[in-house]
Copies of this chain bind each other. A is one copy, B any other.
Amino acid sequence: MSNIDIKSINTIRVLSADGIEKAKSGHPGLPLGSAPIAYELFAHHMKHNPKNPTWANRDRFILSAGHGSMLLYSLFHLFEYGDLSLDDLKQFRQLDSKTPGHPEYGHTVGVEATTGPLGAGMGMAVGMAMAEAHMASVFNEDGFDIVDHYTYVLGGDGCMMEGISSEAFSLAGTLGLSKLIVFYDSNGISIEGSTDIAFTENVVERMKAFGFQTIEVKDGNDIEAIGKAIEEAKADKERPSFIKVNTIIGYGAGKKAGSASSHGEPLGSEALAALKSGFGFNPDESFKVDDDVYANFKSVNEKNAKVEDEWNKLFKEYAAKYPDKAKLWEKYYNDIDESLIDSDEFWSWDEAPAATRNISGSIINRLKDIYPNIIGGSADLSPSNKTVMNNEGYIAKGDYSGRNIHFGVRELAMTAITNGILLHGGLRAYCATFFVFSDYTKPMARLSALMNIPTIFVFTHDSIGVGEDGPTHEPIEQLAMLRSLPNFNTFRPADAKETIAAWYAALVSKTTPTAIVLTRQNLPQLEGSTKEALKGGYIIKEASKAVADMILIASGSEVSLAIDAAKELENEGIATRVVSMPCTDVFENQSKEYKEEVLPKAVRNRVAIEALSGFGWDKYTGLDGRVISMNSFGASAPQDQLFKKFGFTKENVVATAKEVLNQ
C-alpha cells in the first residue's frame, strides 16, 4: 500500500466527514469504514471514465447503503465526475444542491442508481448483471466482447437483513451471474447497537447457500487484501462473488469509532478533530485536498480514458465486420418507436370478448418483434399473467440469450431487478404479478418513479373479479396506492383498444413507469373505445343532449357496465354521458380545457363506478356525486356472484344515478 493510496483514502474520509459536519446532518460511519474498499475498487480495478460517465461498457458501482452518500460524492469530486466541486460538497444536503442526502440517479453525475431504502441496491445490481449477461449474449462475437463489464455493489448489515437481498441473491446464484461482485461492509453495528441483538446469522454461509463464491477480508484497511479478493471474484466464471470485508464503523473518529453514534449524525468537533489529527490532516482546515492527491486521481483517469478509447476502436471494427449487429445496437439504445401510433394493424383487434390479460399477452407477442430489446417475466405467475414471449427462451445459467425471465416468487426483488435492467441501458423490461401483490412491489416501484425510469408493470387479476381465490388475492386499495404515487402512470384498460393504448403509452414513456392493470375475466369489446384512451380519460359514449343530465365515469371492467346503465338511463329520458378513465394520472396532465370538455364543471350529477376502493374518485364526482366502489375487502366466490353482491350491477348503477338526480 503506497503512501499516496493511504493519503487518498484518508482524504475521502476527511472530505466526507467535513461535508456532513457542515450540513449538520448525514452519516459519517460508512464513508469512514468503507473508504478503502471504494478507493481500491475505483482506483485499481474498475473500468470507468468520468469524462464519459454513460459509456456503455463501463463497470457499474452501486452504493446500496445509500446513507453513505458522502463517500460517493467525495470520490466523484476527486475523480472529477460531472465536475463536482468542493463547493458542491459544501452544499451537501442543501436545497437544489448536486449532493442530496441520498444518492439520486439522474441528479448527480456518476450515480448509477438511487439508493437509501436498504437492500434496494442489491436488487438493482442483480438486474444490471442480468442485463450485462443478456446483452453480451446478444451482441458479443468471437474476439469482440463488446459487452463485458462487472457490476459491483456495496452494502451493509441493513442491506443484508432486508428480505430483498435474499430474494435477489437467490436468483443471482441460480443464474450464475459471475460478473456480479457484492461487497458486504461488515461492521457489526446497526442503529440500535451491536448487530448481535438481531442479526447473529452466518451471512457468509447464507451467501454460499445461494450459490455465491464467498471471500473474506479480515481487515477493511488492507487494500491489498481487498484487491486480491476482487481478483478472485473476477476469476470465478461460474458464480457471483460475495466479499465480506470486516470494517470499523466511523474508523478514525476518536471515541466514536466502532460505535452506533458514528452512524447517522455528524461527528461533532471533537471526533472530527481527532479524525483529522489521526490521519495527519490539519484540524483547523476543512475541505482540503492536497495536490498530490488530485494528481493521483488524475493519473487513474488518464489510464481509464485509454481503456475506453480501446473499446471505441474495438467497436468500430465490430461495426465494420458486423454491420447488422451495429445497427441492432443503435436500435437497442434508441428504442422509442412512436410510429406505432399510426399503425392500423397495431391498433386493430377482433371483436370477441376477452380478458384484458389475454389481450395483453397477445400484444406482448406483437411487440417482441417490434422491440427486440424487450425482456421480462413474472414472479412465478406467467401462466396467469400471460407474460411469456412465445418462441423466445428464458434467461438461464450459462445461456443468457433468452428474453423471458423466471423471477421466482420474489415480487420485491423482481421489481428492483427490472429497475436494474433499465438502469443498465440498452434494454426495456417488464415484470408481472397479481395486482394484489403490487403491494410487495411498492417500495421498488416508488424507486422506479423517483429515478424517472420507464419500468413496466403487468398486474393481472385486477379486482374482485379474481373470484374464488378470495380477499387475500383480491385487490381493493391497490389502484389508489399506485395512482397516488408521483410520476407513475396506472392504466386499467376496459377492452382491447385501451389495452393497446396502455402498452403503447408504457413503451413510448421515457421518464415515467407504467402499470397495466388487467382482468382475469372476459370483457366485451366496446364500440366507443379509441386511441383517445391515451389521454387518460375520454368520452366513450356521448349523451343524447348537448348538456348531459348525468355523467357516469368508470375504468376497466366497469366501463361496459356504465355503458349498459347509461343506455337504460337514456331509455328513461336521462341524457347520460359515459367517461372511460383508464388512467387518472395521464388525464390529470391534460389541458384544463380538455378536462372541462370531458367533465364539464356545470354537470354535477356524476357517478363513478370501480370494483375496487373508491378512494380518490371524489375528485371527479365532487360533493354532489356518488361512487359505487368497494368499501371492504372482497370475498371468495365465483366472480359474477361477487359483482352482484357488492352492487356492480346495471340496476344498482341506474338506481344510484337516479338518487343523485333526485337529491
Q: Which residues of A contact B (CB under 8 A)?
A: 23, 25-26, 66-67, 93-97, 100-102, 104, 114-118, 157-158, 161-167, 170-171, 173-174, 190-193, 196-206, 208-211, 378, 380-384, 394, 396, 406-410, 412-413, 436-437, 439-440, 442-443, 446-447, 449-450, 467-473, 476-477, 480-481, 483-487, 601, 604, 613, 615-616, 618-619, 622-624, 630-633, 635-638, 641-642, 645
Q: Do the beta carbons of A481 and B472 come within 8 Å of each other? A: no
Q: Do the beta carbons of B209 and A384 come within 8 Å of each other? A: no
User: How distant is A644 from chain B, measured CB to nearest CB, in Å?
Assistant: 9
How many angstroms between the C-alpha atoms of A551 and B235 in the bound complex? 68
Q: Which residues of B contact A468 (CB under 8 A)?
A: 23, 25-26, 93, 101
Closest to A382 in B: B192
User: How distant is A437 from chain B, measured CB to nearest CB, in Å?
Assistant: 7
Q: Do the beta carbons of A446 and B450 come within 8 Å of each other? A: no
Q: Which residues of B contact A638 (CB under 8 A)?
A: 93-95
Q: Which residues of B contact A206 (CB under 8 A)?
A: 166, 205-206, 209-210
Jot down 18 A-B pairs with beta carbons below 8 A, ordered by A.
A26-B468, A96-B635, A100-B470, A101-B469, A116-B473, A158-B409, A163-B165, A166-B167, A174-B199, A198-B406, A201-B211, A202-B209, A440-B443, A477-B484, A480-B481, A480-B484, A480-B615, A622-B624
Q: Do the beta carbons of B115 and A484 come within 8 Å of each other? A: no
Which residue from B167, B378, B470, B645 sits with its C-beta under 8 Å from A104? Answer: B470
Q: Do the beta carbons of B406 and A192 come within 8 Å of each other? A: yes
Q: Do the beta carbons of A486 and B481 come within 8 Å of each other? A: no
Q: Do the beta carbons of B410 and A161 come within 8 Å of each other? A: yes
Q: Which residues of B contact A631 (CB under 8 A)?
A: 486
Q: Do the beta carbons of A408 and B486 come within 8 Å of each other? A: no
Q: Which residues of B contact A384 (CB under 8 A)?
A: 191
Which residue from B407, B439, B470, B637 sits with its C-beta under 8 Å from A198? Answer: B407
Closest to A480 in B: B484
**Residue in A203, A378, A477, A618 with the greatest tally of chain B CB atoms within 10 Å:** A477
Q: Do the beta carbons of A476 and B486 come within 8 Å of each other? A: yes
Contact A636:B481 (CB < 8 A) given known A437-B443, A615-B616: no
Q: Do the beta carbons of A170 and B192 come within 8 Å of each other? A: no
Q: Which residues of B contact A199 (CB under 8 A)?
A: 170, 174, 408
Q: Which residues of B contact A601 (CB under 8 A)?
A: 623
Q: Which residues of B contact A66 (CB under 8 A)?
A: 472
Q: Which residues of B contact A447 (CB under 8 A)?
A: 472
Q: Which residues of B contact A94 (CB under 8 A)?
A: 636-638
User: How distant is A368 from chain B, measured CB to nearest CB, in Å?
Assistant: 18
Q: Do the beta carbons of B408 and A198 come within 8 Å of each other? A: yes
User: How distant is A137 from chain B, measured CB to nearest CB, in Å?
Assistant: 17
Q: Which residues of B contact A469 (CB under 8 A)?
A: 25, 67, 101-102, 116
Contact A167:B173 (CB < 8 A) given known A93-B636, A380-B190: no
How many angstroms between the C-alpha atoms of A378 and B484 in the bound complex? 26
Q: Do the beta carbons of B485 and A396 come within 8 Å of each other? A: no
- Which 7 interchain pairs have the tightest Cβ spacing? A163-B163, A116-B472, A100-B636, A198-B408, A484-B615, A166-B166, A480-B484
Which residue from B97, B197, B442 sits with its C-beta under 8 Å from A442? Answer: B442
How many angstroms between the C-alpha atoms of A662 and B106 in the bound complex? 41
Closest to A94 in B: B637
Given contacts A104-B470, A114-B472, 9 further A-B contacts (CB under 8 A): A100-B636, A116-B473, A197-B394, A199-B408, A201-B210, A476-B485, A477-B481, A615-B615, A618-B622
Q: Do the beta carbons of A637 and B95 come within 8 Å of each other? A: yes
How many angstroms between the C-alpha atoms of A66 and B436 in the bound complex? 15
Q: Do the beta carbons of A633 and B487 come within 8 Å of each other? A: yes
Q: Do the beta carbons of A163 and B161 come within 8 Å of each other? A: no
Q: Which residues of B contact A383 (CB under 8 A)?
A: 191-192
How many angstroms between the C-alpha atoms of A254 and B30 in the bound complex? 58
How many angstroms between the C-alpha atoms of A404 and B239 in the bound complex? 40
